[in-house]
Chains A and B, each alone.
Chain A
């Protein structure tokens, strides 16, 4: 048949190829329309707000908006010696406008963070400026307090001019901009955030390892036992899984207290003396024990679903070819479970790194993790931009873990339930 005359047509006389493409496109649109409501919902309520966290974390327009004229006048100032008369005049006029809106206090607090002692002299200026005469503003302001004659205070104002700052991120890593705008570390005894990051990481890593060590044998047992036994034992994994996190935390608080059952048991078997009961709660031991039990199901379930697909004949083949059971396990069985190990460890690690309810309740002073700090700044200090910055730093860390995981195991290999 010759190609130009014999195009296959549908009953409507349209070439089949075009008709199929049309149908395909229609199906694509149909599928997309089904997904669209949820996609839009998640993007608007969740993805955008995460983006907003970013703008909030670097946003530093507060002073810029409060002192518009001052920054305009400062454009020509070289920042080396005291600024000229226009800057002083502009500053006074901005400050008067703020005082009218009763926002001058906020400016004082913000500038005080930039340079200590600013709040006091601004308050003094506020009291004195009512009696100011027109003209010669520079002299009059400088007469209010000697600090106004110090160029460093004016440099501090100029430093706040850029609308964006990385200051909150530096604070999260215990660093800050010094008076010359250089990045420096805070004093050794005040580096709290670094301790928190390391502690969070340590707890997440230790809990992941503990979960793996405990979860692997029982997942193997569940996958190899006959159905009727494994179903029964599966309840031991699933009941904690479905039970409220706070209920499980409460039971650990009862078990681990000094007069609690675990300590009773230790005394009974003579491990410790009755008057010398070890403190198992309000320290890291408590956090490790409770978090391991709470997160263990998340390790067992993916491991189980992978192990279930491994045929027992593989182990038999390994043994029949001369391997000892250990060699057969290590060379045959273990490599096949790696996707499950990856999924389980990833899941437990991600959950552990964002946890804070359990550590806060059973960990005592050592239970303060990065998440607690974020919650604290959200609810108590209301420093939302700092909370956002720390949240995004944590998110970046989590994304790096995903990326490494994807390189090592492949994200498609995750199997859940």
Chain B
């Protein structure tokens, strides 16, 4: 953003001030994530940079907390990770199927009561989580699924579907319906048309909805705290317990792994977004 030559001094000053402020905000957003990296390799038990680390002494760094994370005695992280992945994967599958099918109906121009139905479907996203948590707990407890994986999966499907509905309807808004009509006129049945024509075209939207649903489930702690028993502990629950009791470097090792995971998800989501915009013909 080069300034034109004729800019007056005070606007020049203002402009650089503005850039500095932006710089600070970006730093504020991203810097906290990078504190975790070096500290998770700390050889000592304290959560501050030791003198050795400041001198970049190799002895001050170690992998002991990662070792502890994987092999530690009475270590909850293995079970928690397994549970988290199982729950998140099944919740994502459920949310994607229900959400995509509903989005297909919602983006049809024949859909009656569109506004009201859309509001109902995305309500779990716009109601504060604690209220959703109480309501979902009552339901899950009533059908006797409290403290089971299935109960938590159902809860996370409820929380995840709004994201799928929103992303897939957004993708469908630029969808050219004449291609499905063309398929029908050539004798394809609706299911075949969906699998062969519609799905490949809306796939970027479906996958980014799936990523949202996955992250929602994987990172969800409020509802799980109500529903989980000892066998259903998840990574967020373990982190919550750990952070409340004592901040240990093992948590930082786990946190580092989670940051790497979220980086992967970010990259996938960005690639998909660009691809989807190309398909939808949005020129930027």
By a beta-carbon cutoff of 8 Å, the part of chain A in contact with chain B is: 24, 27-28, 30-39, 41-50, 52-53, 56, 214-215, 217-218, 221, 224-225, 227, 233, 235-240, 242-255, 257, 259-261, 293, 296-297, 325, 350-351, 353-354, 356-357, 360-361, 371, 374-375, 378-379, 384, 387-388, 391-392, 394-395, 398, 402, 416
Task: Find the B residue at minimum CB distance from A226.
Answer: B1
**How many Å lie between the Cα of A57 and that of B133 in the bound state?**
16
Dominant secondary structure at the A interface: helix
Known: A38-B102, A49-B136, A379-B226. A254 touches B126 (CB 8 A): no
Q: State in angstroms the CA–CA spacing of A378 and B161 once bound together.
A: 25
* B135 contact set on A, CB distance < 8 A: 46, 49-50, 52-53, 391
Q: Taking the complex as formed, is B43 at the interface, i.e. its CB lies under 8 A from any CB of chain A?
A: no
Q: Which stretch, B25-33, B55-63, B64-72, touches the partner chain A?
A: B25-33
The tally of residues in B whose CB lies under 8 Å from a CB in A reads 81
Cβ-neighbour of A253 out of B11, B128, B240, B247 (below 8 A): B247
Q: How long is the Cα–Cα vector from A245 to B255 in the complex, in angstroms? A: 10
Give the number of A-B contacts (CB < 8 Å). Answer: 253
On whether the beta carbons of A53 and B134 are closer than 8 Å, the reply is yes
User: A395 and B127: CB pair below 8 A?
Assistant: yes
Q: Which residues of A contact B270 (CB under 8 A)?
A: 238
Name the contact of B139 in the complex, choosing from A32, A45, A221 (C-beta under 8 A). Answer: A45
Query: Residue of A at shortest CB range from B112?
Result: A28
The 5 closest A-B pairs by CB, nearest first: A354-B128, A34-B105, A35-B105, A38-B102, A31-B108
Extra inter-chain contacts (9) besides given A251-B255, A388-B134, A395-B128, CB under 8 Å: A28-B112, A32-B111, A221-B22, A235-B30, A244-B262, A251-B35, A254-B247, A371-B222, A398-B128
Whether A35 pairs with B127 at a CB distance below 8 angstroms is: no
Interchain nearest-CB distance for B247 vs A (Å): 6
A-B contact pairs, 16 of them (CB 8 A): A28-B111, A33-B105, A34-B105, A46-B132, A52-B135, A52-B139, A215-B25, A240-B33, A244-B218, A247-B255, A254-B247, A296-B29, A351-B128, A394-B130, A394-B131, A402-B126
- The contact of A46 among B110, B158, B284, by CB within 8 Å, is B158
The answer, among B26, B123, B126, B136, for a CB contact under 8 Å with A218, is B26
